[in-house]
A and B are shown apart, each in its own frame.
Chain A
């Protein structure tokens, strides 16, 4: 469930490793020749050892030792991670890594999730799937994030890889039920089909019916983001003939009665997304359904992860009691429940490590979480009213309670309307294990609501005290001081998100000059100009990308960067209606390192300098 998977640097190899390949090295089983030369023996040994090396960072290090190590590593890398699909071309990747079985590919910048990137910007899967169709016929796994994927792409994927096992699409769009049907039909070895936060089009194709009729290898089927009905009868039959199924996440169009029938067929599920969780419209049946529900949960002895609850009637939440004691992950972020209703279940969830809730549970609900969930690693509190001047029901009180109760906290995402420095400082002191700290005070430029001070001290304490921090998102009223703290103490920070913050260019300079591990920087609506942009030239080749929108950049400044950094792609993104860049002002800048130079598929509203 965590969206934060980037734990190591990606592979792009900007350092531009060795030249061609020694093809003799490609097979460790030499057939006809006499005993191999000593060099070859060493290479064979190395290749065999490297088979055990899985960490991306380690592999990257190995590839830099010398040419033969570079070759050996390239031949034994089976998992390819491409953090930016435009950093390297498919052809180049396939030439270097010939034995890849698993691909992770990421496309659009994250701010695309918030409508800041116009449609049709790019990140097309097509060139990748086409190249891999011939280059990696033994491909087994594909994980895509923020890519544009069409039905044709899925069709090609389905037909090209006979051993294909896992497809995970996160925040992707451009495909629909016909593409899914192709995958279901052709990928006979399919174990995992996970659709997470995608936009799926309804072509009215019954893709659920397309899975192999004799039985499937399915272990995981996730489609909670699909916004239309699936054929329930076919789903029930599918579950019945998928003995390995352990993860099933239904969409909101699966009502309770149907959920019950599925649970009965799949008592060994470990992860369940409950769909709408709303009761039948016939009051007479409600009690019976509730009783059946409790019994069904009691029968699911292996359940450790629960989500869904899209249209929940809160009174029936307690039916999940039988599984609470074993739950490690609970996602109630679509459930409009209050503190009392949360308490009825949370008091049993002693083993909980991941919790997503709505702020409808209020500070009081969070206090209950703090009292019980001592093993909590990740907490996300989403707002019911997602407007900047809306009502919020959690505040510094909830944050403080969590910090005092959940000392093992590693990751937090907290939306609120008011906060204090004291609470944030307390969290920095109470939760030294924090790796991800994302606080979103929804009203722009809001100071500490008790002291009236900027939130500098709070965020300063976070970077100072949380020595393992790698991801930070700031908000509220922030001066340059906050950024000086980040630059001074945030030595491990890799991802930084900034919005409506800072006073002058110095703020950005502090960060660019002070944070050596900075990999991803996304900034919006902050007063940073060309001077600040140019202060980062020493570092941009070490970064995956920089996003700056609604700042104070000019065309001249961006051109200067492009001129001095030839291996950076500097994209200026306009609104599609705009003909050309107006008044020398750069509204949106997206720049990233790349081995390939200017991309050829840029739409008309993108100017690449």
Chain B
């Protein structure tokens, strides 16, 4: 697959790159990585830690203390089981950080891709991105007939495990129930229309 795809924003491979530096050190959008960087504490002298604590202890300013200097995310802190942490991925207070990543497969393609549904505002953008990613065209959508004018149809698996045609439900409902996407080809695709 060629990598000339363009989304609304970059794939941001840098965020997932493993490195030992502070996250956000060379990142312009100040996005915290979703997986914490494992810190090798034996390499950090303890004087560094106490310096940090001094920067935090400016507590005299009343309720809202100044946000501490961007700290390295430490593995396993705070001590919450990952199961519980992950339960609130899609329920973050301010929608920053975690996206809604779903796998995308296309019939005939050798491997899958992953996209972040949160990057798109609606179906047109999503479909365009899919077209560019897999180098194909999707037909015109109509409620009655599904997608016309192409041998491909975008489908998705919802929370109940059923395969649905992309576009039938409101966008917000779609992104909260979509578990994965599959671009169906040929006669199988037709079958969904007639259902």
Contacts and interface: CB of A to CB of B under 8 A. Distances in A.
B80 A384 contact: no
A334 B87 contact: yes
B21 interface: no
A440 B79 contact: yes
A227 to B, nearest CB: 9
B52 A444 contact: yes
Given A415-B78, A443-B56, A388 B84 contact: no
A225 interface: yes
B81 interface: yes
A382 B60 contact: no
B187 to A, nearest CB: 26
Given A116-B76, A229-B160, A447 B92 contact: no
B42 A444 contact: no
B177 to A, nearest CB: 8
Interface in B54-104: 56-60, 65, 67-68, 71, 73-85, 87-88, 91-93
Contacts of A525: 41, 49, 74
Nearest to B83: A197
Contacts of B68: 389, 443
B78 A451 contact: no
Contacts of B58: 452
B5 interface: no
A52 interface: no
Given A334-B87, A444-B53, A418 B93 contact: no
Interface residues of A, number: 52
Contacts of A448: 59
Nearest to B32: A387
Contacts of B60: 452
Interface string A357-390: 0000000000000000000000000111111110
Contact of A391 (B76, B82, B93, B161): B93
Interface stretch (A68-76, A98-106, A107-115, A178-186): A107-115
A221 to B, nearest CB: 20
B171 to A, nearest CB: 14
B83 A389 contact: no
B108 to A, nearest CB: 24
Contacts, number: 113
A550 B83 contact: no
A440 B32 CA distance: 22
A499 B73 CA distance: 15
Contacts of A382: 80, 84
B78 A111 contact: no
B113 interface: no
Interface residues of B, number: 42
Contact of B78 (A336, A440, A587): A440
A206 to B, nearest CB: 13
A188 to B, nearest CB: 30
A115 B78 contact: no
B46 interface: yes
Nearest to B158: A281
Among the interface residues B41, B67, B160, which one has the most CB atoms of the partner chain A within 10 A?
B41
B159 A253 contact: yes
A387 B82 CA distance: 12
A450 B59 contact: yes
A583 interface: yes
Interface string B28-64: 0000100000101110001001001100111110000
B38 A575 contact: yes
B20 interface: no
A452 to B, nearest CB: 4
Contacts of B79: 113-114, 440, 497, 499
Contacts of A116: 75-76
Contact of A452 (B59, B74, B159): B59
A527 interface: yes
Contacts of B161: 229
Interface in A406-450: 415, 418, 440, 442-450
B56 A445 contact: yes
A477 interface: yes
A48 to B, nearest CB: 45
Given A382-B80, A452-B60, A550 B85 contact: no
B42 A585 contact: yes
A197 B85 CA distance: 13
Contacts of A587: 40-42
B173 A444 contact: no
B71 A499 contact: no
A447 B53 CA distance: 9
A240 B103 CA distance: 38
Given A114-B81, A253-B159, 7 more contacts: A382-B80, A388-B71, A389-B67, A391-B93, A444-B77, A445-B52, A446-B56
Q: Please name the 10 residue pairs, one residue from A and one from B, whose CB atoms are nearest each other, closest first.
A: A114-B76, A445-B53, A550-B41, A585-B42, A442-B78, A386-B80, A452-B59, A449-B59, A447-B57, A386-B85
Interface of A: 111, 113-116, 197, 199, 225, 229, 253, 281, 310, 333-334, 336, 382-389, 391, 415, 418, 440, 442-452, 477, 497, 499-500, 524-525, 527, 550, 552, 575, 582-583, 585, 587
30 contacts: A114-B77, A114-B80, A115-B75, A197-B81, A197-B83, A225-B83, A229-B160, A281-B173, A281-B177, A334-B84, A336-B88, A384-B88, A384-B91, A385-B92, A387-B32, A388-B71, A388-B73, A415-B78, A415-B80, A442-B78, A444-B52, A444-B53, A445-B49, A499-B77, A500-B49, A524-B76, A527-B46, A552-B46, A582-B42, A583-B42
Interface of B: 32, 38, 40-42, 46, 49, 52-53, 56-60, 65, 67-68, 71, 73-85, 87-88, 91-93, 159-161, 169, 173, 177
